[in-house]
Amino acid sequence: MSGGVDSSAAAALLLKQGFDVVGITLKLWPQDCVSRAEDKCCGSQAVMDARAVCHKLGIPHYLIDESAEFQSGVIRYFAAEYKAGRTPNPCIMCNQVLKFGRLIERANQFGAQYVATGHFARLDRSADGARTLLKRGRDLRKDQSYFLFSLRQDQLARAMFPVGEKTKTDTREVARHCQLKTAEKKESMEICFVPDNDYGKFLRQAKLVEKHRGEIVNVNGQVLGYHEGIEFYTIGQRKGLGISSPAPLYVVELDAARNRVVVGDDAALDVDEFMVSRCNWIQFDQPPPVLEVVAKIRYNHPGVGATVTPLPGGRAKVFTHAHVRAVTPGQAAVFYHDDLVIGGGWITRLSP
């Protein structure tokens, strides 16, 4: 329970369905986390809100310290990806490592069969009953299946998403009906441990990266200026480059090996093929030789038709049926058939 309305409504819905519910809030912030926010899911206000909801529902509430695991499995991953010239997705990693990793271990200690969260996603069974399938949430505007693509079969089998069939409005109505204090609580779109959305400031203040001067070059290798660290740039960025040009320039590549930020015009952001690694296939153990899917290259991407060719070693080539803009190494590419999540992988580079 994060202290938000969705997990609060999830607990209330499970109670109504007759489940024996225990509220768990994970203490994720390290004591020296310089960007701790009191109203985020890793802040003390969120803990108090979750506890108040549990008290109102008449269920036990436990605060479990997982700050060490969060530091090693999420925050250090977050910094390492930026250092490598990639843009991380800490929410996916938190789901994989903590909410359906460590929390399942805790559930075992409580004798609990399932771990339920407030994600807008749905689960189903394969026709032969052998696999647990992941589907988009009914409310497509709030669908969070993208953030769950990396969950393994053993993790999905222990998961429950009680609000997956609901809309956001429905969850607020559930919370209002139960007179929960989170009913009107605003939701945040920021990374929970970066409350002002300035990830560069967080990385510097937490001493996870240091400034290091390098070149800003165009796609032909011509030096246009200098930067203080590739960690402070992302693919598609236009503002804050510190260089002048008669036409708009965008970050099109982050070259960690040469400590270079590569910029180009708008057309240089458009690609129709890229590679993914560490693929997780939800629908099957071994994928077929070719897959026709809709691919989402970031959470708020609408999706594009694509042909996926799985390769040895958990890799795959992705050929999109139309150009896509600002494909970003480090982000996830998640593959769908209608509402069904086929699987996905982590974008590694923009050409085979």
Q: Report, as residue numbers or ranges, the catalytic residues.
A: 94, 192
Q: Is 325 left (phi over 0), alpha (psi -120 to 50) or beta?
A: beta
**C-alpha torsion angle, residues 53, 134, 80, 73 (rounded to 10):** 50
* One-letter amino acid for residue 232 of the chain: F
Strands 332-337 and 159-160: unpaired
Q: Nearest CA to 253 among 330, 309, 143, 187? A: 330
Residues 40, 301: Cα–Cα separation, whole Å? 25
**237 Cβ partners below 8 Å, 6+ apart?**
250, 251
Residues 337, 344: Cα–Cα separation, whole Å? 12
User: Is 263 in contact with 250 (CB distance < 8 Å)?
Assistant: yes
Q: Dig out the tokens for 19 from the structure.
A: 């489940």
Neighbours of 90 (CB within 10 A): 21
Q: Dig out the tokens for 199 from the structure.
A: 């990830």
Q: Nearest CA to 99 among 87, 114, 78? A: 114
Residues 189, 268: Cα–Cα separation, whole Å? 28
> Which of helix, strand or coil describes residue 10?
helix
- Report the number of secondary-structure helices (H) and strands (E) in the chain: 9, 16
